[in-house]
Amino acid sequence: MPARDTPKKRVAILRAELESHNYQYYVLDQPVVSDAEYDALLRELSALELRHPRLADPTSPTQRVGAPPSEKFASAHHHSRMLSLSNAFDATEFGDFYRRICDQLDVSTVELVAETKLDGLAINLVYEDGILTRAATRGDGTTGEDVTVNVRTVRSVPLRLRDRRPPALIEIRGEIYMEKAGFEALNRRQERAGEKTFANPRNAAAGGLRQLDSRITASRPLTLCCYGIGHFEGGRVPVTQVEILARLRDSGLRVSPATQVVEGIDACLDYYATIRASRASLPYEIDGVVYKVNSLEQQRVLGTIARAPRWAVAFKYPPDERITRVVDIEVQVGRTGALTPVARLEPIFVGGVTVTNATLHNADEIRRKDVRVGDTVVVRRAGDVIPEVVRVVLEKRPANTQPYKIPDSVPGQATARLVQEIIHFASRRATDVEGLGAKLIEQLVTQGLVASPADLYLLDVETLAALERMGEKSAENLVGALEKSKQTTLSRLIYALGIPEVGDATADNLVAAFGTLEGIRQASAEALEAIADIGPVVAARVTDWFCQKANSDVIEALQERGFTWSEEAPGGTDVRGLENLTFVLTGALESMARDQARDRLRTLGARVASSVSKKTDVVVAGTDAGSKADKAATLGIAIIDEKTFLEVLEDPSRITRWIDGPDPKS
Ligand code: IVH
């Protein structure tokens, strides 16, 4: 320590110097000292603070080392809601978004800000009078987890803003993530230490941030990039997104370097293509680009639906594709007896998970793609979708391979089919028999105890208790669950019967049109085809199914064994309130199971579909609603949250507020 400075003064100098180096390094990306020089300054400061405890300060650059573990995270309420983004997956969907906002704003083009979409975790940083007082995860958008101690260890998060006159309170929104290089170094370190490695940078970042021991977080190469603000008190109110980004940068926060102002669809598509071309060489992973309306006034006019603003969209990059080898091809038996070929693959990491199987769909598909055992193939996986083989890399085909021929039958096919049929019958959307899992069904079928779904209702406690991994208690529970499942709705029954091509939405449509089982059974192909979503193929499947005696026998046996369902006359005169509206449910509801919600909607005359399309009228978004809500937002379909949904169930006429009035304020 130079002789002239008092400890107090020296501490102040060191802190200012270290803060400035942080800014140079993290925000400007122009370090002016080496890591060793930085560390020397930091050590000097630590030593001084240790010797002079009264000079301690929580915003000191030394206070990033982490603290001893805590029990669990406290919850943290955000001052303003943390929204999510709706998605566009191709240029058409993006064009829909662009035109819709132009229409709503009554303009021919609109100025957007394009940013990269970093693949990490959203964070909300609260600064009071310029000092970081809290950092929280997004959680359900309203309340997240308080991860302040962990976030303090992230070097690119300023503990104090650089503003000379900071706002009284500001919420700053950004992404915590791990750069590719840091991720790889971390995995090498983990491997050497015999610890588990991470699947991808995103998981590694999540794991790092959600550590109860922040000293571990401190050792993980996490970083921050900011893209917005939330609640805000004091100071000048920004009027554009560009201004927000500039402000964040001035305050000492990192923002995406690739940000650009774009106007017109072509400019947007250009940006998308340029970033895509540089994607692999970026130091961090991105899963798309984000476009936001630049003017905050225009943002206000456009408003927000449920969980995503109408003024922004994430334009995603297509799913990850990787190359691997087909080790074998096997067939799986489905509930209708259909054989589905499945490629067994050399394990490959694609789209965020390790994949070992990929569906080949059917014989036609195999023939078309000509996938053979031993082939090198391109495999794709998008989100929660089943991995699939995209194509064969013919140049890499080994000599002497044979075209794969799907067998007409496989040993044990009838048994396998029956097992699948019963799994389907008892599944959640069908009769929902709790505690009747696949393993148990396999035992029941192979031991000859059950030869059709109706036989389930002949099982007694004694028989069940004698089965593997069953006891008296679980047998009793199962008999109870079976008893309970006997009272169901006609839609569930129709779905449970496993008629080929009849999913729960179709079952629903059939019930809405014909009202009774008898009505459906006797419907002609023409009458069936008159129903929305039913074409000649499905119509033929339905009539064929009801023609077969074995199937009528099952229905009869079910009835004999006490199986009942509610029936309604079709097109009854009673007004139920939600007729002719198609709902889609997504995300978890707190007040009821999804099936229950579905049944209640149907009772009110609504159709419930499983996927969002232009025909969807309303999407009910629970917590963690995923791509369906995103798609709905892109299509401009009304999205309601659980609270509103409950209000609608209470009084269906309220729905008009959401499907006619475009801006549902929650
Ligand atoms: S804006 C009001 N901008 O993507 C809109 N989000 O899928 C709120 N993300 O939760 C988000 N980069 O975690 C925005 N430049 C960016 C982003 C970004 C990554 C994340 C963020 C958000 C998620 C939505």
Ligand 1 atom 21: residue of nearest CA:
122
- Per-residue pLDDT at 597 exceeds 80: yes
Ligand 1 center to 417 CA (angstroms): 45
- Supply the pLDDT for residue 446: 94
C-alpha 315/C-alpha 397 separation (Å) is: 36
Beta carbons within 8 Å of 192's beta carbon, 6+ residues apart: none
β-bridge partners, 131: 128, 160
pLDDT tens-digit readout, 127-157: 999 999 999 999 888 999 999 999 999 999 9
- pLDDT at residue 3 in the model: 59
Residue of the CA atom closest to atom 23 of ligand 1:
84
State the distance from the centre of ligand 1 to the C-alpha of 313, rounded, in angstroms: 9
What is the arithmetic mean of pLDDT over 26-51? 86
Q: Is 115 in the pocket of ligand 1 (CB under 6 A)?
A: yes
* Nearest ligand 1 atom, CA 256: 15
Q: How many Å apart are CA 389 and CA 343, to the nearest integer?
A: 8
Instruction: Find the range with the poorest average confidence among 90-104, 298-312, 443-457.
Output: 298-312
Distance CA 55, CA 49 (A): 6
Task: Give the pLDDT band of residue 665 (cuts 50, 70, 90).
Answer: very low
- Ligand 1 centre distance from Cα of residue 174 (Å): 7
Question: What is the DSSP code string of 450-506?
Answer: -SSGGGGGG--HHHHHTSTT--HHHHHHHHHHHHHHTEEEHHHHHHHTT-TT--HHH
Choosing from 290, 627, 630 the residue with most ligand 1 atoms within 8 A of its CB, the one to mutate for a pocket test is 290
Distance 84 CA to ligand 1 centre (A): 6
Q: Residues 571, 458: contact at Cβ < 8 Å?
A: no
Q: Which atom of ligand 1 is nearest to the CA of 630?
A: 7
Look at residue 572 in the predicted model and tell me its pLDDT: 44
pTM of the predicted structure, to 2 decimals: 0.57
Atom 7 (ligand 1): residue with closest C-alpha?
Answer: 85
Distance between Cα 140 and ligand 1 center (Å): 14
For ligand 1, say whether the CB of 118 is within 6 Å of any of its atoms: yes
For ligand 1, atom 12, name the residue with the nearest CA: 117
**Nearest CA to 7 among 56, 77, 63?**
56
**Ligand 1 binding pocket includes 633 (Cβ within 6 Å):** no
Across all residues in the chain, what is the average pLDDT? 88
| Residues 436-469 pLDDT 10s | 988 899 999 999 999 999 999 999 999 999 998 8
Q: Who wins on pLDDT, 212 or 270?
A: 270
Distance CA 190, CA 88 (A): 37
**CA-proximal residue: ligand 1, atom 16 (nearest):** 117
pLDDT for residue 69: 65
Tokens of 362: 């059917």
Average pLDDT over every residue of 196-219: 84
Q: How far is the CA of 227 from the centre of ligand 1 (A)?
A: 8
Residue 663: pLDDT over 50 = no
Task: Tell me the two tokens of residue 154.
Answer: 């992230």
Band the pLDDT of 184: cuts 50, 70, 90.
Answer: confident
Which among 188, 219, 218, 186 is positioned nearest to 204, based on CA atoms? Answer: 186
pLDDT band at 575 (very low <50, low <70, confident <90, very high): low
Mean local confidence (pLDDT), 105-119? 96
Residues of the chain with pLDDT > 70: what percent?
A: 95
Protein residue closest via CA to atom 17 of ligand 1: 117
Ligand 1 within 6 A of CB of 494 = no
Sign (positive/negative) of CA torsion 141, 146, 148, 150? negative
**Measured in angstroms, how far is the CA atom of residue 85 from the centroid of ligand 1?**
6
Mutate to test the pocket of ligand 1, among 175, 275, 304, 305 (most ligand atoms within 8 A of CB): 175
Q: Which of 80, 202, 227 to mutate to test the pocket of ligand 1 (most atoms within 8 A of CB)?
A: 227
Ligand 1, atom 18: closest residue by C-alpha:
117
- Does the Cβ of 117 fall within 6 Å of ligand 1? yes
224 in contact with ligand 1, CB cutoff 6 A:
no
Please state, as a whole number, how many other Cβ atoms lie within 10 Å of the Cβ of residue 402.
8
Active site residue 117: yes
Q: Is the CB of 312 under 6 A from ligand 1?
A: yes
User: Over the stretch 46-57, which tens digit does the pLDDT of each residue have?
Assistant: 889 988 989 988
- pLDDT for the residue numbered 287: 87
Quick one: tokens of 60? 């000191």
Residue 617, ligand 1, Cβ within 6 A = no
* Model confidence at 331: pLDDT above 70: yes
pLDDT at 353: 64
Query: Residue 654's pLDDT is what?
Result: 82
85 lines ligand 1 (CB under 6 A): yes
The predicted model gives 34-58 an average pLDDT of 88
Is the Cβ atom of 221 under 6 angstroms away from ligand 1? no
Q: Is the pLDDT of residue 574 over 70?
A: no
The answer to whether the CB of 314 is under 6 A from ligand 1 is yes
Structure token digits, residue 587: 């995300």
Of 294, 316, 304, 264, the residue nearest 116 (C-alpha): 316
Check if 122 has its Cβ closer than 6 Å to any atom of ligand 1. Answer: yes
Q: One of 8, 9, 72, 117 is an active-site residue; which one? A: 117
Q: How confident is the model at residue 382 (pLDDT cuts 50, 70, 90)?
A: low
Distance CA 555, CA 552 (A): 5
pLDDT category, 569, cuts 50, 70, 90? low
Q: State the angle between helix axes of 413-426 and 438-446 in degrees (0 to 180), rounded to the nearest 10.
A: 130
Nearest CA to ligand 1 atom 11: 84
Among the listed ranges 8-12, 125-129, 143-147, 278-282, which one has the minimum average pLDDT value? 278-282
Parallel/antiparallel/unpaired status of strands 618-621 and 638-640: parallel
The pLDDT assigned to 28 comes to 81
Q: Which stretch of DSSP H or E encloses residue 656?
A: helix 656-659
pLDDT band at 371 (very low <50, low <70, confident <90, very high): very high
Q: Which of 112, 117, 176 to mutate to test the pocket of ligand 1 (most atoms within 8 A of CB)?
A: 117
Q: Which residue has the higher pLDDT, 63 or 262?
A: 262
Residue 391 has pLDDT above 60, yes or no: yes
Which pLDDT score, from 0 to 100, does residue 602 have?
84
Atom of ligand 1 nearest to the CA of 115: 15
How close is the Cα of 420 to the center of ligand 1, in Å?
41
- The residue with tokens 């991470």 is 198
Q: Is 83 near ligand 1, meaning CB less than 6 Å away?
A: yes
